[in-house]
Structure 1
Amino acid sequence: MEIILHAGAHRTASTTFQAYLAGNAAQLAGHGIGVWGPTRTRRGLLAGVNGGPGAARARGRIALNLEAARRDGVRWLIVSDENMLGAPRANLREATLYRDAGERIARHVAAFGCRPRRIALSIRAQAPYWESCLAFAVMRGHRLPDAALLDRLVTQPRGWRAVITDIAAAAGGAEVLVLPHETYAGLPETRLWHMAGHAVLPPLTHAREWLHRRPDLPALRGALRDRGADPARLPGGQGPWRLFDDSQRAALEAAYRQDLDWLRAGADGLARLVQEDWAGTFLVRQKEARQAGTTSAARRETRGQAHGTDEGRVA
């Protein structure tokens, strides 16, 4: 049984991917694919993994569940929980990207008692990543960010390259697979295809449902109003909340380009970037399979909030 850890990151359509897996659980099981998503991992299964007196119990609990999966005929086990990396609130509090990612992944790898086949990570341009995190923080009652926090987020030196390097060092030899959000956000079936090593063609059902999108400006103004704050503190308009000025956005975009260039150049052998031509290969194979009558073409085009280019699928 191959174990694939999908470690997030947050705000990279991980909820959409998890909902796709849950909606197709029965069909995936028929292909030998098992799924442990947040509804399972956050209800005690991974409790104690990150240290403390519960670590030994966590290893035993995971071992029992792994053995049950093997008996059920699972060939590929997808464990999807972006909290393996940490939490967005910690990123905002420390003004850095997943400072403890390496330590946390190392603990999860150890808890499973065997080397995962691969660890999948989605990355995203930093400007919309931070803006999405901040929008959700404000919706949940946090104060509006000030200029000092925005400046720290722009100038902090830790980018995705550092996060990936830490994960690779902790992976125990597992392949680290990197899927850019800008390409794969709206393609959960393609993500799964790569995670399972191209062994099966995943279903298309529930593949176009987009969930947990970040709140737009009207929603944020409503949240401020509901808790007695002045909604006029936010800009007018209907679209996404853009917090960074042009120079800040340019700096964040340059940092992301450097990370992508490093990945395209081979990432020092630490990780593999899944590039756009692989998505095209998958779609061709899906089309061939549908024409042969082996794959359901059922599709739903519903999504969450009205989608725009900032959060959207640009593939």
Structure 2
Amino acid sequence: MTGAIPAEWPYGAAFWQRLGRSIMDVILHLGAHRTATTTFQHYMRDHSDDLASKQIAFWGPERVRGSVTPGLFRRSTAPKGRNLAKRAEGRIRLFAAQAKAQGIKQLLVSDENLLGNCKQNIRAERLYPAAGERIARVSAAFGGQVRRIVLTIRAQDLWWASACALTVSRGHPVPSPTRLANIAHSRRSWRDVITDLACAAPGAQIDVLTFEAGAGGCERVLRAALETDVPTDTRKRWLNRSPDLQSLRAALAEQGSDPELLPDTLGRWQPFTAEQTAMLRENYADDLHWLFAGAEGLATLTEDTCPNRAETYLPSGAFTKGQRDDQGQIEGHVAQHR
């Protein structure tokens, strides 16, 4: 025989690259919410021309929600029998084909609502319960071209507190003590979200960053997404920060709700009891331990050794952990379960 059958066929984008076919890589920046995603998206828009000169295109929430994904997550059929999800898939493939025809080599899609939204999480009392199904639809719509997924995670006690503050400021009810207790006792953690993403897009490499290590620094996130030199963030903004208790009480009064539902103090609102906060922190510690141990090959934890948000560049001591690094693998991996 003159050839051999490969032990494992490459998946998705890697398959066509192995054959020498030039394609456009799709990179999904999924947030999560409350990890400085708005700041990152403004940074990307500021540098869109610079990135375009490097054949990198950016789709932010305005485009994604306005013209790209509407209908993608709807199961109902519109009047006249039109399948909204199928139409959305066709629209995504059309826009992606247009970008590729313009010479784009990397398409970065950034929209935290692709995972779901904070209101849905609070109602479900769990972290992104439909993340797997939603990203599976996104991956299918891009025809297997999703090469990388970037996710920033945050300590659950602070993430849920920020999510509650955001939803209350936008007119949603203050979560009841029962709901808060159910959230604190939920066993669904970032590990489950990441596992769902790996199953939904098995051909994609998943890079995880922690909000605490760099407070969502824009350059740090973009470097993880593109693995190349990135524009310097000179503006150092921090947009869409959580409103404090004073602002939330004022918002409740303006909405016609009772401000007494919130503590009459200053600073950050922490809706959980000390015991509930400890439970949520323990869940996050378990998540980080799993990620440091290699995440069963499903994801790579990208770390900063210096947790200073004002740093312009990733410190020279930065490193990554994950099964693909231990084994010297460069291409994307296939999700595995144990």
Moved more, 181-190 or 15-24: 181-190
Aligned-pair CA distance for 1:236: 2.5
Q: Which amino acid is the alignment partner of residue 137 of structure 2?
A: R
> What number of residue pairs does the alignment pair up?
283
Structure-2-length-normalised TM-score: 0.79
Contact 1:24 1:205 in 2 (8 A): no
**Structure-2 separation of matches of 1:282 and 1:72:** 31
- Does 2:218 align with 1:188? yes
CA distance in structure 1 between the partners assigned to 2:215 and 2:312 by the alignment? 17
Letter in 2 for 1:283: L
CA positional deviation for 1:75: 1.9
Indicate conservation of the 8 Å contact 1:31/1:200, yes or no.
no
Q: Secondary structure at the match of 1:283?
A: coil
Tell me the equivalent position of 1:276: 304
1:277, CA displacement in angstroms?
4.1
Residue number among 33, 41, 54 corresponding to 1:18 in the alignment: 41
- Give the counterpart letter for 2:252 in structure 1: L
- Flag the 1:278–1:215 CA change in 2: closer, same or farther, 3 A: closer
- Distance in 2, matches of 1:140 and 1:259, equals 30
Q: Distance in 2 between matches of 1:186 and 1:5?
A: 16
Q: CA deviation at 1:225?
A: 1.6
CA distance in 2, matches of 1:21, 1:281: 15
The C-alpha deviation readout for 1:216-253, integer Å capped at 9, x for no partner, is 11111111221333323322232111112222111111
* Structure with greater helix share of residues: 1
Q: Is the 8 A contact 2:30 2:151 kept in 1?
A: yes
Within 5 Å, give how 1:4-153 maps onto structure 2: 4-52=27-75, 53-153=83-183
Q: Quick check: 1:201 aligned with 2:230? A: yes
- Paired letter, 2:146: P
Q: Compare 276-285 and 148-157 and name the one that shifted more.
A: 276-285
The CA deviation string for residues 31-81 of structure 1, in whole angstroms up to 9 with x for no partner, is 222100011001121123225412232222222211222233322210011
- Give structure 2 stretches of 5+ with no counterpart: 1-23, 76-82, 317-338
Matched letter for residue 160 of structure 1: W
SS at match of 1:203: coil
Shift of 1:114: 2.4
The equivalent of 1:298 in structure 2 is none
Of 258-267 and 171-180, deviating more is 171-180
Q: Distance in 1 between matches of 2:153 and 2:138?
A: 20
Aligned partners of 2:49, 2:56: CA distance in 1, in Å? 9
In structure 1, what residue type is equivalent to 2:101? R
Alpha-carbon distance, 1:98 to partner = 1.0
Equivalences for residues 153-172 of structure 1 within 5 A? 153-172=183-202
Distance 2:234 2:198 in 1: 33
Partners of 2:150 and 2:165 lie apart in 1 by: 25
1:236 equivalent in alignment to 2:236: no
Q: Distance in 1 between matches of 2:266 and 2:275?
A: 23
Structure 1 unmatched ranges of 5 or more:
286-315
**SS of 1:136 mapped into structure 2:** helix
- Counterpart of 2:191, as a letter, is R
In structure 2, give the amino acid aligned to 1:47. P
Contact in 2 for aligned 1:4/1:76 (Cα 8 Å) = yes
Distance 1:171 1:78 in 2: 16
Identity over aligned pairs, percent: 46
Q: How far off is 1:26 after superposition? A: 1.1
- Structure 1 or 2, whichever has the larger Rg, is 2
